[in-house]
Amino acid sequence: MSRSSAVPGRVRGAGGFLTIDLDAVAANYRTLGTRLGPACECGAVVKADAYGLGLAPVARTLWDAGCRRFFVALTEEGIALRFLLPEARIYVFDGVDQDTTADTAAHRLIPVLSHPGQIETWATYARTQRTRLPALLQMETGMNRLGLSTGEAETLVSDAADIGALELDGAMSHLACADEPEHPQNAQQLDNFRNALAILSPLGLAAASLANSSGIFLDPAFHFDLARPGAALWGINPQPAGPNPMGQVVKLQGKILQTRTIDTPSAVGYGATHRVRRGARIATIGIGYADGFFRSLSNSASAFIGGIRVPVVGRVSMDLITIDVSAVPAEAAQAGDLVDLISPEHPVDDLAREAGTIGYEVLTALGRRFERRYLGGGTGS
């Protein structure tokens, strides 16, 4: 059953409509599961409000699709998710510090511990509570971001005191170049991760996790026990050099506020960066950089009306963009009509390329001023 609903109580007049297809999210989750095979569980990364798509509807959809392990970046995100999914296993990438131990424990979050200080903080808190607390260890394997070095892992294994206070769920690491399958760093990180698991083996860890979305499309040796996709679930191509195996989730449409026909050759927008000829038709849309339609899309983004390409011309303003709609019949581009900015013919990855960025940044920057509609998923919300 597919249905569409706007955010309740929202006053109309939004400059854009963001449609999120929850059935496509569920289908993408199943596609990834097929790719992983039965030996590897598929989790989901829903940090940053599910990459800007809305934590509540997206997380409920994934739960209904069978996902039981979720990853967020912040304690606060984990708490929000706990209220939505009382039974889920929720991992917090940023781990814990003195300020978050009590909340982390109270909401049954599983911190990802990435350095000895964090392990000590969490183990000390567990001892004061006279309980054992769950954790996932993060190993540094080549990204130099978060994670224990092999030396720190060796020390940990020999230090029974801290380990005894924790219920270690497993170990993870993160790939830096998984979207480039031929990159030599992939094999290097795989080796380093295996080496780290060997060092940690006396701890009898339950699960190992290495693959993000792109890692799922590498050799099955990268899969281990638990995968952590985010981007691919929302339709971002996990292997940009090839065709996109994922279904499209996001549609962004802007509303035309005004259309004008140019009667004298002149310029459009701030800085007069685009010249228009006599007879050209320019439509102005109520979306701008304050909505996450990056200013770097000035004179470079494509939009579509009825499948016909109409380019963004001139600079992106805070709340407005201008589009040359000369290619479509005048009656197809009138005030109130919609223009497709992210759509099947112009997926999020294409818009990202035009902005000089990646789909991840486009999605997480999507503004709060759009009228949001969720399709399918059975949640409506």
Residues in touch with ligand PLP (CB under 6 A): 45, 47, 93, 174, 212-214, 228-232
Q: What is d(CA 215, CA 124) in angstroms, rounded to the nearest whole number?
A: 35
The nearer residue to ligand PLP, 70 or 370, going by C-beta atoms, is 70
- Calculate the CA 220 to chain-centre distance: 23
Inter-residue contact 71 to 43 (CB < 8 Å) = yes
The nearer residue to ligand PLP, 82 or 174, going by C-beta atoms, is 174
Which residues lie closer than 8 Å to 53 by C-beta, 6 or more apart? 20, 25, 234, 249, 250, 363, 366
Inter-residue contact 269 to 284 (CB < 8 Å) = no
At closest approach, how far in Å is the CB of 280 from ligand PLP?
A: 40
Q: CA end-to-end span of the chain, whole Å?
A: 14
- Could you give the 3-state DSSP secondary structure of residue 156? helix
At closest approach, how far in Å is the CB of 318 from ligand PLP?
A: 29
The nearer residue to ligand PLP, 147 or 286, going by C-beta atoms, is 147
Inter-residue contact 326 to 274 (CB < 8 Å) = no
Q: Going edge to edge, which strands form the sheet with 133-138?
A: 44-45, 69-72, 89-92, 109-113, 133-138, 166-172, 207-209
The nearer residue to ligand PLP, 93 or 294, going by C-beta atoms, is 93
The nearer residue to ligand PLP, 48 or 119, going by C-beta atoms, is 48
Nearest residue to 93 (alpha-carbon basis) of 110, 118, 108, 81: 110
At closest approach, how far in Å is the CB of 370 from ligand PLP?
A: 22
Q: At what angle do helices 150-158 and 116-128 cross, to 10 degrees?
A: 30
- Could you give the 3-state DSSP secondary structure of residue 256? strand
The nearer residue to ligand PLP, 231 or 285, going by C-beta atoms, is 231
At closest approach, how far in Å is the CB of 351 from ligand PLP?
A: 17
Which residues lie closer than 8 Å to 91 by C-beta, 6 or more apart? 43, 69, 70, 71, 72, 78, 109, 110, 111, 112, 136
255 DSSP β-pair partners: 338
At closest approach, how far in Å is the CB of 271 from ligand PLP?
A: 35
Residues annotated catalytic, as ranges: 47, 270
At closest approach, how far in Å is the CB of 349 from ligand PLP?
A: 13
Inter-residue contact 342 to 21 (CB < 8 Å) = no
At closest approach, how far in Å is the CB of 48 from ligand PLP?
A: 8
The nearer residue to ligand PLP, 26 or 232, going by C-beta atoms, is 232
Which residues lie closer than 8 Å to 22 by C-beta, 6 or more apart? 57, 58, 61, 374, 375, 376, 377, 378, 379
- Calculate the CA 78 to chain-centre distance: 15
